[in-house]
């Protein structure tokens, strides 16, 4: 059997990395949420992202969820009522 070329070794490494990423996500992910946004809501999300200097919408949503979870019940109800 001939030795593997650099390209073959690199392709195998990419496949291992892809599998590792899939395994990592399988361990970490609880669920996926598909979200349709109306234009005004999307504009508000974009404004929040700009204000926080965050490029990824899922990062902003994750931070907002964790922040909302730290609120007391009254503050959370007030936040959700707007």
pLDDT tens sequence across 38-71: 999 999 999 999 999 999 999 999 999 999 999 9
Lowest mean pLDDT of 14-23, 26-35, 42-51, name the range: 14-23
pLDDT of residue 42: 98
Q: SS in 3 state form for the chain?
A: CCCCCHHHHHHHHHHHHHHHHHHHHHHHCCCCCCCCCCHHHHHHHHHHHHHHCCCCHHHHHHHHHHHHHCCCHHHHHHHHCC
Query: Residue 50: is it exposed, middle or buried by C-beta count within 10 angstroms (0-12/13-18/19+)?
Result: exposed
Q: pTM of the full predicted structure?
A: 0.66
pLDDT above 90: residue 73? yes
- Give percent of the chain with pLDDT exceeding 90: 62
């Amino acid at each position: 059997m001939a030795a593997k070329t650099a390209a073959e070794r690199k392709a195998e490494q990419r496949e291992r990395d892809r599998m590792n990423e899939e395994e990592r996500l399988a361990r970490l992910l609880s669920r996926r949420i598909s979200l349709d946004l109306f234009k005004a809501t999307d504009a508000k999300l974009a404004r929040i992202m700009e204000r926080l200097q965050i490029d990824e919408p899922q990062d902003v949503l994750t931070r907002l969820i964790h922040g909302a979870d730290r609120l007391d019940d009254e503050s959370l109800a007030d936040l959700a009522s707007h």
